[in-house]
Chain A
Amino acid sequence: MANMNTKTPLMRVHGISKELGGREILRSVSLDLYEGEMKVLIGPSGGGKSTLLQCMNYLLVPDRGEIELEGRRVDPRKARELCEFRQHVGMIFQDFNLFDHLTATENVSIALRKVKGMSRAQAKARAKAELDRVGLADKGHLYPAELSGGQKQRVSIARALAMDPKVMLLDEPTSALDPELVSEVLTVIRGLAQNGMTMVMATHQMGFTRSLADEVLFMQEGRIIEQGSPKDLLAEGSGTRTLDFCSQILDVEGAGA
């Protein structure tokens, strides 16, 4: 990470603003994301974390601002460019959003076949490999309704990974899970981080953040109001808003993961 600032960022978010239903959700948010980096977004709900993540792959089109991936600016009005861009930016949702009519294997393979044009056999082999990577090698034949929350989220991670994304965006991936299922998902995400996947993740898992985040971004009222290493922002007595917020959620959630 030492030479971070001498390299060009992998993804660059510049001055993104977004209004939804007449309310300003994002107010000129910028961030530079470097290869292999893990940024964590924290902050109160309604602060704009989820909107920022959705703007970062144009699931929501920002009103102002721009996004660059590897130095190339993306024009969301060009459908083909947009689809191409999204293939490189994987997204994990809080409530999984698996395709309910497809088995775990098919959930992973469908975009490989229909977007990447792989043959059925190739796509299936790749899907199996990805499911294996998230520890679900024996669950490929099951439908989403037959899986636990943690398994569903791991399938959705496998589905995103299969596209070989350059960046992964994770929108509170463990928030919809029963407490005992959180760790299996965090283990998978930890593995990704250790393998150098570039990620931006909204989460309230403070233990996880402390040990894995390269940078913590604290968002409130549509702005990044504090950013820095978890060590700096979460140090006892640092007096940051981040620390203040985190001690509040720790009181509620116990020790964290």
Chain B
Amino acid sequence: MNETVTVLLDALPYVLQGAAITVTAVVGAMFLGLFIGVPLAVGQVYGHWTVRTLCGLYVWFFRGVPILVLLFLFYFGLFNFMGLNLSAVAAATVVLGMTSGAYQSQIFRGSILSLSKGQLKAARALGMSDGLAIRSIILPQALRLSIPGWSNEYSIILKDSALAFVLGASEIMARTHFVASRTYQHLPMYVSAAVLYFLLTWAGVVALRALEKRVRIKGYVH
């Protein structure tokens, strides 16, 4: 028992450094997903049919292929082929971000479609171009409505980020595995990792819930 406690305490700073890497990758992937997802959603709702088709293909591809396959495909395949020398963490962030972009686009698309069409009409009637109306009227509302879906997406990416372990990224899972296999304290180490993931999920969901409240529009019930 004492040995277990010693191992856990010794491993804690090491695994927490891994947690910092995990969080960096997840936050990076969330934002990359946001920057990919918003144009994809706008393209799918308002675009010409060619744009809609292209956006649809992107979503279809990234939703249809397992993340593990994508990680290998991009890290060992495509990035190498393109001569990009990305670290395992960076590569995982990019792949998770691109995948998340596909999922996030569907969250945003749903939010955009849930807004009344009349607001876009009213914006046009005031002389706004469609681009301006989407930027200043549609997206500010759609993004607010997307926060609950976003916190779901956060918890999914956080857990998927454990897959970066297979690329050799030195995140929570890799470090836990390393300590566990050297000390043979498998059960306590993986339980700790599970608790750590749980706490990170919880913290993120709480933070997003706070954001949701903060940007809420008074009296607005959707």
A84–B125 Cα gap in the complex (Å)? 10
Known: A111-B126, A145-B217. 7 other contacts (CB 8 A): A93-B118, A95-B118, A99-B122, A110-B136, A143-B220, A146-B219, A156-B122
Name which residue of chain B comes closest to A91, CB basis.
B125
Residues in B whose Cβ lies below 8 Å from that of A93: 118, 121-122
Give A contacts to B, CB under 8 Å. 57, 59, 79, 83-84, 86-87, 89-91, 93, 95-101, 110-111, 114-115, 142-146, 156, 159-160, 163
Residues of B in contact (CB 8 Å), total 23
A115–B123 Cα gap in the complex (Å)? 10
Question: What's the nearest-Cβ distance from chain B to residue A138, in Å?
Answer: 16
Q: Are A59 and B123 in contact (CB under 8 A)?
A: no
- Given known A145-B217, A145-B218, contact A98–B122 (CB-CB < 8 A): yes
- Given known A79-B129, A101-B140, A101-B141, contact A86–B124 (CB-CB < 8 A): yes
Fill in one digit per residue for B104-133: 1 if any A CB lies within 8 Å of its CB, else 0: 000000000000101101111111110010
Q: Is B137 an interface residue (CB 8 A)?
A: yes
A99–B133 Cα gap in the complex (Å)? 11
Residues in B whose Cβ lies below 8 Å from that of A86: 124-127
Residue in A96, A111, A145, A146 whose beta carbon sits within 8 Å of that of B127 in the complex: A111
Residues in B whose Cβ lies below 8 Å from that of A89: 125
Q: Is B187 an interface residue (CB 8 A)?
A: no
Residue in A57, A100, A110 whose beta carbon sits within 8 Å of that of B125 in the complex: A57
Question: What's the nearest-Cβ distance from chain B to residue A57, in Å?
Answer: 6
- Given known A143-B219, A143-B220, A145-B221, contact A83–B127 (CB-CB < 8 A): yes
